[in-house]
Amino acid sequence: MKKLHLAFWIIASATVAGCSKGDNPPFRKDMTEVASPQADKLPYYKGELMDPWWAGGAARVIGTVSLPPDLRRLDDFSLVAESGREFARKSLADKYTVVGFFFARCSGICPTVTAQVKKLATKITDQKDLVFLSVSVDPENDTAAVLGNYKARFSAAQKNWYFLTGAKETIYGIARKTFNADVVTRSRKTGGEDFLHTENIYLLDKNSYLRGIYRTRGGMDLDRLVADLALLRKNG
């Protein structure tokens, strides 16, 4: 026991001594920053750890505020919608966006995610500034025609709901860089691939910044998303 106490004292003394000499702190900055939640505001998501970050009051006018460069934001991209037409970030200009990931062959969580997004759409009366995106993580099999059939199967008839496919590198880059979605593959004994991905859906503001993350399993988060969208609309 005495040896254990002595070892702890040596480690603690060394740590204090190192800090007292003005050395760099032992932790990364993004692990020591403190965020202060603000009432009636949604956070942004910041850095590798996706820490919530609340801007100051002036941030309602985004052009007048210097935002941190590491906020999670959907970069420019070019994919293909189920109609066969190109779909890029410019298509989201001045729109709020709900994003989810799926693939047509999936018999697990994907049908649930799609059904929950459809249910969510029924909860939002005003959709003139809203877009829904369902992005396939199996673009090698999910052609535009396949996605068109999938959309029809789920009776996702609204014109502001797009099912997207395209280059795998683009889709996986979006999933990881913007949303930190768990989109990976693992080889199966059958020789195929099993796509593992998040059940979450995401809310982007009109500048394509990530502002909310919601679980679809159980549907309990859908009402929160509706309320958060109203809050974004209120704050501009």
Whether residue 27 is contained in a domain is answered as no
CA angle 162, 78, 154 (to 5 degrees): 15
Q: What is d(CA 97, CA 101) in angstroms, rounded to the nearest whole number?
A: 13
> Residue 143: which CATH number?
3.40.30.10
Question: How confident is the model at residue 12, as a pLDDT?
Answer: 41
List of residues 6+ apart from 32 with CB closer than 8 A: 25
| Nearest by Cα to 80 from 153, 195, 167, 179 | 167
User: Which residues constitute the domain of residue 99?
Assistant: 73-235
Whether residue 173 is contained in a domain is answered as yes
Q: What is d(CA 221, CA 62) in angstroms, rounded to the nearest whole number?
A: 27
Handedness of CA 129, 173, 63, 36 (dihedral sign): positive
Whether residue 112 is contained in a domain is answered as yes
Question: How confident is the model at residue 93, as a pLDDT?
Answer: 95
Cα(first)–Cα(last) distance of the chain, in Å? Answer: 61
Strand-pair partners of 202: 99, 213
- Split into its structural domains, the chain has a count of 1
- Which pLDDT band holds residue 60 (cuts at 50, 70, 90)? very low
- Which pLDDT band holds residue 108 (cuts at 50, 70, 90)? confident
pLDDT digits (tens, 9 = 90+) for 192-204: 455 456 899 999 9
Whether residue 29 is contained in a domain is answered as no
Specify the DSSP element, H or E, that contains 212.
Answer: strand 210-215
More confident residue, 5 or 51: 51
Q: Give DSSP secondary structure letters for 71-127.
A: B-B----EEEETTS-EEEGGGGTT-EEEEEEE-TT--SHHHHHHHHHHHHHHH-S--
Whether residue 2 is contained in a domain is answered as no
- Which pLDDT band holds residue 78 (cuts at 50, 70, 90)? very high
Instruction: Name the CA dihedral angle for 148, 154, 155, 157, rounded to a multiple of 10 degrees.
Output: -50
